[in-house]
Amino acid sequence: MTTLLVSIVALMLVLRLQRVRALWRHPLRNGEDYFLAQPVVPGFYQGAGAALLRRYQVALFLPFVADLPILLWLAATGRYLILVVEQWIAMIASVVVYNLILLYFTGRASAQSSVPAERTATTLHLSMAPRRLRDHTHLWVELVIAACVLVPAVVLARGWLQAAAGADRHLRHAVLGDVVLGVWVLYVQLGLLLLKVVFVRWRIPLPVRRTEDFQRWRSAWLAYHLKLFDSLRLIFVLLVPTVLTKVFLPHPVPRAAIVALLAVWAVAILILVLYLQREQRRLAAVEKEIKPVELVKEFPPAPVAEGRFLAGGLLYFNRDNPRVLVRSAQGIALNLGHVSPYAWFGYFVGLVLIMTWMVR
């Protein structure tokens, strides 16, 4: 079982590094006249842009720096199951972190570049279309997740009763470990659902011109991220029935069973990678046709938000501003006057508490 868990962790680290590789030269994807979606002056990458690009590339490793001490500690103490869960959390968190990094460095490029403004737009449209999670929910996904949670829950309940009746200490310990894992899975499912809600309800204004093109790109971008979240939900929940198998296997677990489980997970990871690559190609095809970087010109320049800035422009406080992320003189800032930062802070505190419980 240890070999299986270590292999899963290694695969997840490879996937995370591949994401860094894909984003490494992302600011130059539209040519040297742009930093991400921000137009820059000629020669920008020979001056301030070179330093900004290096800082961007260093920032891509922030998720690894944040979870490296935890990874090393769990590996050194042999807590491989918890390590698998921690790496899934890191993968999910990195999706959010990388989107914030892209937004932040777009704002930094805008603040540092003195390119003459070409955008003539002064007004925007606001879409009144309903933004409901149920419109982006697939029944078969929810049924599979429910089955992977409810069926093991019934099996674990029966196993616990049998262990209690027969005073089987080993079985009781194994069942308790799976219960703890189940709590983790449910908590992560909650976090992924919250992320889906954020992305679905993320209000983005519409340009007056090329509105249909922008809506097509926005729909493709949203579809990709929602499929990513649902894919992670599915593959994460499969940990429950996988780990549950140890309750029914002799101790120690036969080598043949470990090889079989490893093969199943290798296939599952391969399917996930191929599926997400296909969805990335679909999004890239839409972007190639519509060229979202040109849509930037259809939006008026965002003004620096009015209110109190903290921490060098990284934090902002204004309860009257409905936005979570606002424009600052240095790039973007997190609005501490909005309830969302505190909700997510509470969620991550809950993750730490559950992790502490698992380790104990």
Q: Give residue limits of the domains in the chain.
A: 1-116, 124-301, 302-360
Look at residue 124 and give its three-state secondary structure. strand
Calpha distance 62→64 (Å, rounded): 5
CA–CA gap between residue 35 and residue 38 (Å, rounded): 5
Which pLDDT score is estimated for 175?
66
pLDDT in tens, the chain (360 residues): 577 678 778 888 888 898 899 899 888 888 888 888 788 888 888 888 888 999 999 999 999 988 888 888 888 888 777 787 788 778 878 878 888 888 888 878 877 765 555 555 556 566 656 677 888 888 888 898 888 888 777 776 776 666 666 666 666 666 666 677 777 778 888 888 888 888 888 777 777 778 888 888 888 989 998 998 899 888 888 877 777 776 666 666 677 777 787 788 778 888 888 998 899 899 989 988 888 777 777 777 777 888 888 877 788 888 888 888 888 877 788 888 888 888 888 888 887 787 777 666
Give the separation between CA 86 and CA 41, rounded to whole angstroms: 42
pLDDT of 279 reads 92
Tokens 């249909």 correspond to 212
In this prediction, residue 167 carries a pLDDT of 61
Q: Three-state SS for 332?
A: strand
Structure-block tokens of residue 213: 């093109």
- Residue 307 tokens, joined: 């209110």
Q: Which helix (H) or strand (E) holds 340?
A: helix 340-359
Find out whether 16 and 63 touch, Cβ atoms under 8 Å.
yes
User: What's the CA gap between 283 and 300, in Å, rounded?
Assistant: 25
pLDDT at 339: 86
Judge residue 261's burial from the number of C-beta atoms within 10 Å of its C-beta, 0-12 exposed, 13-18 middle, 19 or more buried: buried
At residue 317, φ and ψ (nearest 5 deg) are -135, 115
What does the pLDDT read at residue 120? 54
DSSP 254-272: PHHHHHHHHHHHHHHHHHH
CA angle 289, 290, 296 (to 5 degrees): 150
Question: For the whole model, what pTM was predicted?
Answer: 0.75
CA–CA separation, 27 and 239 (whole Å): 36
Copy the structure tokens of residue 351. 């993750």
